[in-house]
Structure formats: C-alpha cells, structure tokens
A and B are shown apart, each in its own frame.
Chain A
Amino acid sequence: MARGAAAGLAVLLAGVAPVAEAEEALREVAPDGFRFLQFNGAAGDFLLPEITCAGVALLDYDGDGDLDVYLLQGAPLAGREPTEALLPRPAGALTDRLFRNDLAAAGPAGRRLELVDVTAASGVEERGYGCGLAAGDFDDDGHVDLYVANVGANRLLRNRGDGSFEEVAGAGGADHAGWSVAPVWFDYDGDGRLDLFVGGYVELDESAAPKICRSATGARDYCNPAAYEAAPDRLFRNLGEGRFEDVSEPSGIGRGAGKTLGAVAADFDGDGRLDLYLANDGEPNRLWLQRAGGRFEEQAMLAGCALNRDGEAEASMGVVAEDLDGDGDLDLLMTHLAGETHTLYRNDGAGGFEDVTVLSGLGPPSLRSTGWGLAWLDLGHDGVPDLAVANGAVRAIEELSTAGDPYPFHQPNQLFRGAGGGRFEDVSAAAGTPFTHSEVSRALAAGDLDNDGDTDLALANIGGPARLLLDDSTPSGGWLGVRAVGAAGGDRPGARVGAWLSGAGVRWRRAHTDGSFGAAHDPRTVFGLGAAGAVERLELRWPGGGRSGWRSPPPGCYLTVREPATARRP
C-alpha cells in the first residue's frame, strides 16, 4: 500500500500503547539429555571463525509433530590440535549434534521437554566447522533435510525418513567449498521444489598463514572482515531427483559479493515472486528483486535498504523480514556491531524502505552490544511483535579484560517489547536470567518447542553451552498456529499467511525459517489474537502464486494447510 512519508510516520507513532512491565517471560530449561558445549578452536591465532560461528536449527526431523534441535559444532583451526584450545573442550567427538524432542511421549499431563542425543543414530556426525544452516524438504518427500554451511565444504544432509541422514551435496550439485554462513531454502521459481541460496561470507585460505591484525593498542586482535575478500553468493536451482544446478550467474545472484551473514527470501515488491534480502557485514546490503525468467535485479540502493539513513554500510548480521509496524507490509530489521544500532527499515508500501531506527526506540539500547541472532516472537499473544537478540562482542571488552576475564567477549542478550506502530522498548533488565546472564551468543532460533502456542528460543553460544528458553508468559489473548506444507507434507517457506481478526483487521505473517544468524526457525507461523479473540478468515498465498482460504479456523491449535497443486507455476 502506497503512502507518503508523513503518513508513514503517522502509522509509526499512532497507537503507541504503554508498555507493560516485563515479566520473566522466558525461562531456561535444561532437559537431562540436552548437553552441548560449542568448541571454537581458539588457540591464540585470532582466526575469524572463532569469533563468528555457532548455529542451531529447530526442525521436526522425525515428523512426530514437535521440534527437534540441531546444533553446529566448531573444530580445530590452522592445523591446531583440540588440546591446544584456550577454552574448555567438550567431552566426546567434535561433531554437530542432533537432539530428538520426545515431547509427545511426555503425555498430555505436561509439556516437559525430553531431549535425547540421537547424533550417532541419525548419522549426522558432521565434523566441519559449522557456521550456518537451513532446514527444508528439498526432495519433497515430506521429511525435512538440512543444509549445513561450514568454514569449508558445506553439507547437504538428506533425511531418509527413518531417523537418519545421508550427505548428498556433492552428488546433487549443491556443494560449496568456501566459507558460507547464510543458506536459505526457498522456491524462487515456484515449481514446488525448494531451491537453495547460499550466502558467502569471506574468502579464508586455511592453508595460508593466519592474517595478523592488531587493535589500536597494537595487541593481536581479530581481523576486521574488511581485511578479507568477500566470498561469492550462490543460487542453486532444484532440478528434482536430488539434483541442483548452479544458476548464480544466469540469475544474477552471483554478480558481486557482499560478505553475507543473514538472508531472507520474501516477496518484497508484491509481485508474487520471492525476492532475496541479504544482510552484509560492513558492505551495502542487497535486495535482489526477482524478475521474470528467474533473473534477479539488485535494487537495495534505490529501495533505501542498502545503507542506513546516513548512507553508511553497517555490519549487518541477523535479519527479520516481518510486518513490524502493523501496516501489512514487510519491514526489515537487522542486528549490528556495537556502536551501530539494530536498524529498522520501514517498508513504505511502494517498494521503498526508510530507516526509522531513531523513531523505533531500538537505537540507543542497541549501541552497546554486538547483535547477531534475531527473532521476533509474540510474548503474551497480544498480537504485537516483540524481539529477541543474541549478543556477543567481537573485540575484547575493556572492562572484562581489566577484570581478568579469560574470554572477555560476553554480553547479555536483549529482549524488546513491541509497543505497536514499530516502536519497541528494551525490557531485558526485567526479563530474567536469560537476558541478564552474559555469554558470547551468536545463533538464535525461534519456535514452539513445547507446542503450547507460544514461541520459545534456542540459543547457540561460542565457547559455551547451548540454551533453551521457554515462553512462560501469561497470554493476554488466544493464538492460532499455521503450518504451510507442500503436497508431500514438507514445509513451504515463503508462503504469506493472512489472518482477519475479529474487529482488528488483517494481520500478515510469513512462513519462514530464515533470517536469524546461524539459525533455522520453526517453519510454523503463530498469530497472537490479543483482544480480537478469534480469526474470521485465514488466507495463504503460496510462493507459486496460488491461494488457500479457511473460514473461522479454531484458535488454540496448529492448522496444517496443504498447498494445492494448482498453486504452482508451470
């Protein structure tokens, strides 16, 4: 919907409600079987992956209706032995880990999480240096698969459907040898098969001597990404039958590279085609708008979402593409380095964006932290998006160094309460231990781990334990969950889901797993109903162009909506 800047401002500022005192909304749970310590391999060489990578995916790999947890592991770097590491090394093999959620087995009396380490049984003993992942049913067999982005060769782990995975990247043509961070499954050509975008980060020659970089004091320090060449982005078209074609060049995606750390696929210009927005580290962000014939055209500069309002490129990490100001279109929010803000780009409804960070309340509270993983959630089901941010520095924090902290990079994570109209308030200090405890956090995945309708969080830290945070807030309204799936039952990211609420207009959400740094979210979409109480109509707009509708869906449950075959583009 087109509207002028003044009208946009009015939308932003209108209806700003007082923000309720935050309760300790998210509580950490530590199921017996859930133990994971990330190993970053740091041995004094100040290698960039050490301070960059961690990852977590929430996916229902066994199809039992609840979310399982996949965690990326690090590895020794630069020929070092694990024993040379400065930080504690986890017991056992340094592999990624898959934890099966046995929530269903816990029975109706409770929703207590029970997680079981099924790494060995599943065959996902991935030993690369994990830095990003994407979950999606690329072979349309109804079983979610995994693409693991590593510092080095990536892996495509095909879910056999029997609780085990097999590596097929090389055989299928989706192999990628550089350092990539931000893979995204999305059906860009609308043929019903999930294609794959892989965002490259920087060119890191592991065989060469490590780059030596120093801080202002002359001390050894991690290199700024500007010290490295950008690694290329890649687009792989899914040809079916487990084969992929690298279409980076013909599609245009391969032109240029921007040190991608976050990526989302969504229809930003409302033409029915999925576009790509790339959050780049210190480089202008990119908005690849899809045109006819599977070509993409980079339009971030003109659209106003390449640089911040001063015309500066920021160190973008995680990204959210969601309707954050309630006007029906997709806004963009990114996390950045300390000294930069979490930057909010408001969609003007006409294909353009405006940096409205200073009006959002996100700016000042975000200046002190380096934000990475990012997720929106709806605490209390009031229908207004809230935000969770995973923080952790990339340069030693002076106060921590002075205090003798052996790993002086930790910062508390943050929780922002949505106040409506695109305004937020930092409520971290009142949000309990998960947001006052200080760690070197990176990846943040959002999803309903206990299937109670609210959004929980999974957090992956560098050199520390992974954590699960459950939403225990008291809902102020009901909820409705929607899972958009293809014909075979696999999730269909990119579907737009609209809910017409009683007396409260329509609210649009996006089925997605993408965006957050190093993480894959729950593909399901949850609507908090707030005061409306009920949904009058539900509509899904499929990436292929079709639509599905549902009248008066029952609240308080997840609806699975299957994409009609006619929805696909020929």
Chain B
Amino acid sequence: MIRALPIPPALLLAGLLVAGHPVAVSPLGAQTAAVGAGSLVIPRPDLGAMEPGPREKIETLQAALEAQLAEGDLSSDRVREGFGFLGQLFHAYELPAAAETCYAQARSLSPEDPRWPYYLGLVRLSAGDLEGAVEALRAVLALTPDDLAALQRLADVQLELGELDTARRLYQRALDLEPERPAALFGLGRVAALSGDPASAAARFERVLELQPEASAVRYPLAQAYRALGERERAELELARRGEGRVAFADPLADVLPAIATSSAFEVVGSLAGEREGFSEESFLGFVLSQLGSAPGAVDQLDSLLASLREGGAPAWQIGRVEYAIGALLVGHGRDVDAVLRFQAAVRGAPDLRDAWVKLGNAQARAGQFEEALAAFDRALELSATDAATLRKRAAALINLGRGEEGVSDLERAVELDPADRQAWTLLAELRQAAGDPQAAVATLQAALEAMPAASERVSLHVALGDLQRAARRFESAAREYLKALRVDEQHVPALSRLASLLGELREFDRAAEVYGRWIAVEPDSRQARMGEASALILGGRFAFARDRLEAGLAAMPGNLDLKDVLARHLAACPDPAVRDGARALELALELYEAVPTPESTETLAMAYAEAGRFEDAVSWQERLIATAADEAADTLRERWQANLELYRKGRACCDGGTE
C-alpha cells in the first residue's frame, strides 16, 4: 500500500551513494564460493537463464570483487562498495538470497554505514523474513535515529507482526520528525482500525488524502472505517472515488534499485556527477572505483561520456566531476602525470570540489611538483580547513620544500583534529627531531601512543619511538619500544629488523641471532635477515651453526650472490678449522666469479683456492686482484690483499691465526 515517491532518475541514483544517509553475516541463501581472506564470499546464484546483459553486468562485478579480495585489503572502499553494489544488483534482479549475502558482508565491512542494514531490511522483507527485517531496520536506526524511511519501514513491519503498540510508537516518532507525514498517518490509521477505533482511523485516512490526494487507494480502508461507523453512504462515496494510488514516501535507497537494473555503471556515473548537492565526492568516487576501477577501457568510456555531456551542454560542475573520476582511475593505473591534467580540469570546472584539489596535490607531490602540490593543498584547506589528512599532506609538501618548520603547525592541528592520524604524529616527531629537539620528538610519539586507539597503529609508533631512542643512544629504551611493538605483532618486520640490528650493535650476538631467526621465519627470502643472522653467529663465535644457517639460506635463495660470497669466505677463512671446507668454498667461489667477476669475487676465489691447497692459483688470482683493483682500493684493503698474497706465496691459507 505504501510505496516510495517517484523521484527523478538522477536523484534516485544519488541515493545509491549515501544521500540522506549520513554514513555479522546472515545465513547464506545462495551457493557461494569462498574467496580471499576470512569468511567473505561472493555469491554465485544460477545465472544460466539470465539475459546476456544483466548476466555480464553481474559477472563483471563478481570478477572485479574477486580481484579486489585477492589483493587482501578488505578495508578498502572498493571492497565495501563492491559488495554493496553487487547486493544492489542482485536485489534489482530479484535474486534476494544472493543480495542478502552481499549486504550482510557490506554491513560487516562497514558497520557504520546505514545503507547496508537498510537494504538488508528491504531484501529480508521481500523474502518474508519479518523478524530479520526488524533486526536490520533497528540497526539502521541505531546508526541514524532520524532516518524516516527506516522508521516507516520498521513501523510497517511491526504492524505486520501484530505489534500494534510498537508500530504506533514508531509512526508517532516519524510524525515527530515530520509532522503531517502521510505514510505515518496512514500507519496510525491502520493501527486505529485494528484497535477497534474506526473514528480515529477515518480521521487519519482523511488527513492522508488531504495531504496526498493521489493516494486514492486509501479510500478503501477509509470506506471500511465509515462502514464500521454505520455511515454507509459515506462509505459508498469513498468506494466510488477509490483508485490505485498508494501512499508514497521518499525512499531514495529503495528507488535506486530499478535504475541499477537498467543503467550501465557509466550512465550511473554520469548521473551521479550531476548531483551537486546530493552526496559527497568521496562516495561518488567510491562508486566510480568500485564499478569502473577494473573495467577495461573505463577511461575511454568516461571520455566518451564526457564528450556527450559537453555536447549536451552539461554544467561545468558535472563535467568537472567526471574529470575528477577519470583522474582517480588514472591514479589507479599509475598514470600520475595524466591524472594531474585531469584533476586540473576537474577543479577548473568544479572549483569547490575539495577532494579533487587533494588528489591533484597528491599526484603533483608524487611527481615531485611540491610547489604546485602545496598550492593545491592550500586550496583544499580553504574549502575545508579542518581536514586533518590534507593538513598533514601540506606539511609533507613543506618538508620536501625544505620548509619543515612551517609544517609543524599544520601537523599539530592535524593531530588535534584527528588524534588517530599516525602519519601526522610520526611526521611531527621527525620534524622535531630534525629541529634538534629529540626530547620533544620522543614526547610527541609518546603522546601519539596515548592518543592512538588501535593497537595495530601503535606498533609503528613504538618502532618510531625506538628509532628516536636509539638515535639518542638510549639503547635499552629503544629495545623496550621494539619489544613493545613485537608484543602487539610478533611478526612485525620493522620491529624485528631494528631490534636484531640494535642487539648486534650492542654485541648481544646470541640474542641478535635469535631475533634474526624470527625475522627469517617471517621473511625466509630476506637477504638482509640472512646476512644479519650470519654476521651475528660468526661474531658470536658460533661458526658451525653459521655455516649451517648460510647453507640453509642458500638453499632457500640459491641465486643470492651475497650469501654465496659470505658462505664461500666463511668456509675458506673461518677461525675454526673444522668448519673450513676448501672444496665447497671453491665451488661457491667459482660460481660467484662466473656470475659477477668483481674485485670482491676475485678475492673470494683466491681465498678458496688457498683453502683448497691450490696456492699457485690463489697467488695468480690474488695478483690479478691487486693489479686490477689496487689503485682504487682503500689503503686498509690494499694492505690486506698484500698480506694475504704473502700467505698464499708461503703455501698458507687465508688469515691463519686471526679472523678476517
């Protein structure tokens, strides 16, 4: 009986992207295929009988979403919007079970976004799941208590459930928000009729018809109320005037669904671009990226759209928005230079498009155009002076221009506005450190740690604080910070690498080797970790274990020449004769020299020949080394080469009697 008001298509499309909606997974009704991390699934209902157009639209989006999930960033707008839009598509094509699955996942990814529980409520309603609809609509109202469409829907469902008192309260709440709201008055009339109060029902229905005369279907329940009151003639009169018009209310999220079924994503983008007041540019862009980010030829098609908009005399604002969308796509394709031109065009057409200014500044900064970036960020901040991220970006541009001291106030304001902006805190600390005030830098990061709600964000701050302490030669404090980071995330590589390095520097070789080992467990292919571990073990005197770990490293990274070099030298010159192995050293050294005939590999080869007892070869290669590289080598190096040459000439292996 109640339906949504007809709204112009463009406005309906605006509803898609949080217009009027200031921004747990249900049972899966459709066959699903697990994709990506966690429990996220992309529903795959049977599309076999579907027309090619709709099927391709769905399959394209499924594939794009699958690719996005494979990237593993489940928090991205593209994934969230992708699940939501796929749900809308399924919903529009009357595949409610698949739609419900998508909406539930969009909701779990964006628990603060009321769109998804609202759609979840709608799709559950259409499936006859009234209790489920109540749960979802209540969730909408918990996020946006004044959402009239959700209030209306919830009241209607409660009425269906026979919960007359609850329905009455909800209708009344809707009337408090919008006095004379026809749909709520109609609901109260229905409650009155069911409560045995036909007089009140008739009064409500009459008022609905005064407010919305086209809702002629209301004349039927009005007639029943008059009949119950014994006013047969009035009842007959109302029946004679009865029509099919239902009570309408604005419901942009519901009304957008038919447009989704019939429009291409490009058409939707064009319409959305024209909705200047309807929704934020972030939401607009979220749609663009989720729908077109993976579409082949998306930029070309948007250019075609742009041409048609220009031909049709579209306002500069609308054209600017499309340019903005194209710029964002180009950034996604790594084409920053082209993106700069598009963003510049965007802000010419839509000079108050704040996010376009920000993105222009970002692209210019990435291109090293810091003066231009600074100007763009200035403009963005004129439009919104309280945007913490833009303040931080402007500070970064200033730092790159050597005007770091000017960035301090931006960063201070940024962390004041958004205490969770870890990057701003870190930059601020770096600036204070660079300004020669390490204590202030440490204090900044300590303040950041106190302000930071998320443990995951604190990990990086602990590392940064450790770095500051280390720079100040407060090694124990530094180690404590790294350990704090590892307590939150035991596999955090920056913390592991810094702690291992610090322990090595403190000559705690065993502990260092242990931390390097943990690092290797996280990153088995890390050359730096392997080399660090070998160094710590050798310096700690654990020669045999060092050999074994180097062999293991080489097995894991057989092409790594650094490891090969270190192992060859270790086998050729280890202080522990039991570890030495001339044959293996020579095998490695020959491979190394063949791959990279450098002074270093030449020296290694000579060392290996000597350990293998082939002193003439050792002498020959050492002489070649000295002849070709001595002029450019440091004195200490030249002296070592010469000393080793003497050893080889005497028929002795490298470095006997001392550690090289």
Contacts and interface: CB of A to CB of B under 8 A. Distances in A.
A217 B50 contact: yes
A310 B221 contact: yes
A310 B46 contact: no
A362 B373 CA distance: 66
Nearest to B216: A311
Contacts of B98: 398, 402
Contacts of B239: 301-302
A246 B467 CA distance: 101
B160 interface: yes
A352 B224 CA distance: 9
B22 interface: no
Contact of B261 (A216, A219, A363): A216
B196 to A, nearest CB: 3
Interface string B422-451: 000000000000000000000000000000
Interface in A198-225: 214-220
Given A301-B239, A311-B218, A399 B196 contact: no
B197 to A, nearest CB: 7
A309 interface: yes
Interface in B200-233: 217-221, 223-224, 227-228, 232
Interface string A383-407: 0000000000000001101111000
A367 B131 CA distance: 12
Contacts of B502: none
Contact of A307 (B2, B194, B197, B220): B220
Contact of A356 (B161, B194, B198, B242): B194
Nearest to A313: B244
Interface in A259-311: 301-302, 304, 306-307, 309-311
A398 B96 contact: yes
Nearest to B215: A311
Interface stretch (B122-130, B310-318, B332-340, B355-363): B122-130
Contacts of B223: 301-302
Contacts of A306: 220
B5 interface: no
Nearest to A312: B1
B228 A348 contact: yes
B217 A312 contact: yes
Contacts of B38: none
A24 interface: no
Interface string B109-146: 00000000000000000111111000000000000000
Given A214-B51, A301-B220, A309 B93 contact: no
B110 to A, nearest CB: 25
B50 A6 contact: no
A359 interface: yes
Contacts of A339: 126, 128
A218 to B, nearest CB: 3
A217 B94 CA distance: 7
Given A311-B1, A311-B220, A399-B97, A302 B227 contact: yes
A358 B235 contact: no
B411 interface: no
B57 to A, nearest CB: 10
B258 to A, nearest CB: 9
B564 interface: no
A399 B97 CA distance: 7
A92 interface: no
A472 interface: no
A109 to B, nearest CB: 47
B615 to A, nearest CB: 78
A354 B50 contact: no
Nearest to B159: A358
A399 B30 contact: yes
A352 B236 CA distance: 13
B29 interface: yes
Contacts of A310: 1-2, 190, 217, 220-221, 246
B8 interface: no
A361 interface: yes
A4 interface: yes
B46 A217 contact: no
A354 B224 CA distance: 8
A170 B508 CA distance: 110
A483 to B, nearest CB: 38
Contacts of B53: 218
B194 A9 contact: yes
A352 B219 contact: no
A100 to B, nearest CB: 41
B97 A218 contact: no
B97 A402 contact: yes
A398 B30 contact: yes
Q: Of residues A309, A311, A348, which shows the largest number of chain B Cβ atoms within 10 Å of its Cβ?
A: A311
B235 A367 contact: no
A217 B218 contact: no
Contacts of B97: 398-399, 402
Contacts of B246: 310
A5 B195 CA distance: 8
B45 A401 contact: yes
Contact of B93 (A7, A217, A363): A217
A217 B49 CA distance: 8
Nearest to A6: B196
24 contacts: A4-B228, A5-B196, A5-B198, A10-B196, A215-B94, A217-B54, A218-B50, A219-B51, A309-B190, A310-B221, A311-B219, A311-B220, A338-B128, A339-B126, A358-B194, A363-B161, A364-B130, A364-B161, A398-B30, A399-B30, A401-B45, A401-B46, A402-B97, A403-B31
Interface of B: 1-2, 29-31, 44-47, 49-51, 53-55, 92-98, 126-131, 159-162, 164, 190, 193-198, 217-221, 223-224, 227-228, 232, 235-236, 239, 242, 246, 261
Given A306-B220, A312-B1, 11 more contacts: A10-B196, A216-B94, A217-B49, A301-B242, A302-B235, A309-B221, A352-B224, A356-B194, A358-B164, A367-B128, A398-B98
Q: Which 4 A-B pairs have CB atoms at the shortest separation, nearest pair first?
A: A218-B51, A367-B128, A310-B1, A6-B196
